[in-house]
Structure 1
Amino acid sequence: MKLNLIYLKLLCCLAIIFFLQSHSFAAKPGYYYQIKIYHVKGEAQERTVDSYLKNAYLPALHRFGVQNIGVFKPVKKDSLEQLIYVFIPFKKIDNYLNLDQALTKDQAYLAAGKSYLDASFDNSPFLRIESILLKAFDAMPSPAMPNLSSLKAERIYELRSYEASTEKLSLNKIGMFNDAEISIFTKLNFNAVFYGQVISGSKMPNLMYLTTFNNKEDREKHWSAFGPEYKKISGLPQYQNNVSKNVTLFLYPTDYSDF
């Protein structure tokens, strides 16, 4: 009798250990994303930043173990300044925190980026740099490379940000994505690169995501198909008023972008 009881307890312990281990492996840690936005003015600054990113920064990130880095520019030009968006995916937050220190020890990076890094105070290569840090959504914990058939120059990358009136409402919208919206985007083949919660940035509370299309016509077809599917969930009472501002940017990849 005692032996059977001990055996039963042992089985229970093993079952609990197996349950905890299986669930810990199933809960894949999410990526962290940085979006760096270079504000530049004029062709000279734009060329300098492009050269730095292409020849120094992206190769250094690749050596550091960061892959699939996106560099994009807005389709619509601004007469006052130009913007260069850099999307950097990090597997762990420590990779993000340790990057700058690693770059100071990368001699190839320091040599290739010398003209940019050693620019004088009165000849800056940019107006300013903006940085946004995001945490990947649970429903898509890692980024994806889009499966597109068009030439890189024809592609449309649509970057959206959804601000909310309160932190609670923003979390509600993120829950809406995790529970329903991402499934719709996947079903309709929106070729999403990432979905992320902004955890540091100038506009919060906020979430951002990036979808991709072969061209503008392809984009219109996808969003037309999205409407009927989205209506099935957008009217649910638990998802009301969870977006206060929607900002949509159309971007195209540079020739040296990994995307």
Structure 2
Amino acid sequence: MERRQFLAASIAASALTATQQVATQVPAGPAREFYLLRRYNLFTGNQLKLTESYFAGALIPALARRGMGPAGAFRLDIGPETPAYYLLIPGNSVEALAELDLQLADDAEFLKAADPFWNATSTTPAFQRVEISLLAAFRGWPKITPPSSPAASSKRIFQLRTYESPSNGEHVRKVEMFHAGEFEIFSNAGFHPVFFGDALIGSRLPSLTYMLSFADLTELDTKWDVFRNDPAWKKLSSNPRYAYDAIVTNITNLILSPLACSQI
């Protein structure tokens, strides 16, 4: 077996084990997507321009040629360790995402367009570090649902939330909670969710991550107030099975804005 096949197979096997833990607790539904969520840690200056140009001129077009989209490209506006960009890449399988960089390394069209970023030197690096998570879409939210149009997206903000749990069992229970009524409460409060993902590979596991879209911070605050005051939420969150202190140990809350090249 070639090295690249071995790596992809190993990642797929690890991801399968993680997805099976949650699949037993939620109903089956349409085929779901998988996501790569990348965080590019940058320095102010040329790295910002170079990385955004790489997204727009090389990476996102290469993803489109592979039928992988819509891809989201975002700037971190509120959160730790700025500046940073986030990239959300959907795929129909773990294997497609696991092999992506290996395939790009053999893509002449991509390599030509990506050269300033791909071959940046140690004295003028394109980025500081890249952190990657592999996510499986929730059964109850199997596909990305972007805002209605690119024009609408460009004027919006995105909230990226990650919930960490103390154990795999408690994590499964938190995912179950979304399918037991939380999706409907989001809908009733007028939220626009973009995706919900169960982290298969990454840091600070076990965890889940989801993204919401808003017109601005005022709308964000207003809709969360509606959510918290919904009788259905008060009933669901008071269920001992879903007691917050037991199933969630930490929440990371980030505010992003879309880059011009973002398809979300």
Normalised-by-shorter TM-score class: 0.7 to 0.9
**Residue 188 of structure 1, CA deviation:** 2.6
Q: How many residues align?
A: 233
1:258 corresponds to 2:260: no
Residue type at the aligned position of 1:147: S
2: CA distance between counterparts of 1:154 and 1:75? 14
The equivalent residue for 1:103 is 104
Q: What are the superposed Cα offsets for residues 131-165 of structure 1, whole Å, 9 maximum, x if unpaired?
A: 01111111111111123797544312000001111
Percent sequence identity is: 29
TM-score calculated relative to the size of structure 2: 0.83
2: CA distance between counterparts of 1:49 and 1:209? 24
User: What's the secondary structure of 1:60's corresponding residue?
Assistant: helix
Residue type at the aligned position of 2:131: E
The equivalent residue for 2:251 is 246
The equivalent residue for 1:90 is 91
User: What's the secondary structure of 2:122's corresponding residue?
Assistant: coil
1:190 corresponds to 2:195: no
Q: What are the superposed Cα offsets for residues 191-243 of structure 1, whole Å, 9 maximum, x if unpaired?
A: 11111111111111111100001112221221111012221210111111211
The equivalent residue for 1:207 is 208
The equivalent residue for 1:169 is 170
2: CA distance between counterparts of 1:149 and 1:45? 25
5 Å matches for 1:3-18? none
**Residue 166 of structure 1, CA deviation:** 1.1
2: CA distance between counterparts of 1:189 and 1:201? 31
The equivalent residue for 1:112 is 113
Between 69-78 and 174-183, the greater mean CA deviation after superposition: 69-78
Distance of aligned partners of 1:215 and 1:173 in 2 relative to their CA distance in 1, 3 Å threshold: same
CA contact (8 A) 1:34 1:87 kept: yes
User: What's the secondary structure of 2:228's corresponding residue?
Assistant: helix
Between 138-147 and 97-106, the greater mean CA deviation after superposition: 97-106
2: CA distance between counterparts of 1:206 and 1:77? 18
1:236 corresponds to 2:239: yes
Distance of aligned partners of 1:162 and 1:39 in 2 relative to their CA distance in 1, 3 Å threshold: same
CA contact (8 A) 1:149 1:214 kept: no
2: CA distance between counterparts of 1:223 and 1:188? 8
Q: What are the superposed Cα offsets for residues 90-123 of structure 1, whole Å, 9 maximum, x if unpaired?
A: 1111211232232123222111111111112222
The equivalent residue for 1:146 is 147
The equivalent residue for 1:55 is 57
CA contact (8 A) 2:29 2:140 kept: no
User: What's the secondary structure of 1:142's corresponding residue?
Assistant: coil
Between 114-123 and 205-214, the greater mean CA deviation after superposition: 114-123
Distance of aligned partners of 1:249 and 1:112 in 2 relative to their CA distance in 1, 3 Å threshold: same
2: CA distance between counterparts of 1:134 and 1:70? 15
The equivalent residue for 2:39 is 37
RMSD: 1.8
User: What's the secondary structure of 1:75's corresponding residue?
Assistant: strand
Residue type at the aligned position of 1:107: A
User: What's the secondary structure of 1:193's corresponding residue?
Assistant: strand
User: What's the secondary structure of 1:42's corresponding residue?
Assistant: coil
Distance of aligned partners of 1:188 and 1:149 in 2 relative to their CA distance in 1, 3 Å threshold: farther
Match for residue 71 of structure 2 among 69, 78, 103: 69
1: CA distance between counterparts of 2:190 and 2:135? 23
The equivalent residue for 1:10 is none
Between 96-105 and 178-187, the greater mean CA deviation after superposition: 96-105
The equivalent residue for 1:11 is none
**Residue 255 of structure 1, CA deviation:** 1.0
CA contact (8 A) 2:170 2:247 kept: yes
2: CA distance between counterparts of 1:234 and 1:148? 34
